[in-house]
Amino acid sequence: MTWDEAIGFCDTWLAAWTGNAPDRLMEFYASDAYYSDPSVPDGLRGHESIRPYIVKLLARNPDWEWTREELFLTEKGFTLKWKARIPAGGREVVEHGLDIVEISQGRITRNEVYFDRTQLLAALRERT
C-alpha cells in the first residue's frame, strides 16, 4: 500500500463511521476480519459478530466525526492517530486514540482501537 492509497483508504473509511450507515462501514472489512476496542477488548471475529456490534454503536452515535491526525504505514497496513468529536450527555466530547489497521486485498483484516474512554463514559453518565 502506498502512502496515497493509505491516506485515501483511511479518510474514506473514517467518513463511513459517521451517519449511521453500518452496511457502508462493513464494506471496508473482510468477511473474517478481527475487530477490538475498549468495549470489546477480547475482540470480535467475522461479519456475523462485528456487524451487530457496529449496528448498535452507529445507532447510538450517528453524529460523531472521526478525523485523521497522523498515519504511519506498516508492513500490513497502517497505524492511525485519530481525533473523534462525539456528542454525549448534552455536550461534545473530544477523544484522541490510535487504531492498528491491517489490510489485505483492499479490506480490513484486523482493526484494534485504543483510547481512554474515561471522559466519554463520564459524559454518558451525566445524561442519565
The CATH code of the domain that includes 31 is: 3.10.450.50
Q: How many CB atoms lie within 10 A of CB 113?
A: 18
- Residue 111 near residue 35 (C-beta atoms within 8 A): yes
Give, in degrees to the nearest 5, the angle at Cα 59 between 110 and 16.
Answer: 50
- pLDDT digit string (tens) for 75-92? 999 999 999 998 887 888
Q: For residue 119, what pLDDT is reported?
A: 73
pTM: 0.92
Count structural domains, the chain. Answer: 1
Q: Which domain holds residue 66?
A: 3-127
40 pLDDT higher than 70 = yes
pLDDT above 90 as % of the chain? 81
Q: What's the rounded Cα separation, in Å, for the pair 101 and 89?
A: 30
Mean pLDDT of 97-122: 92
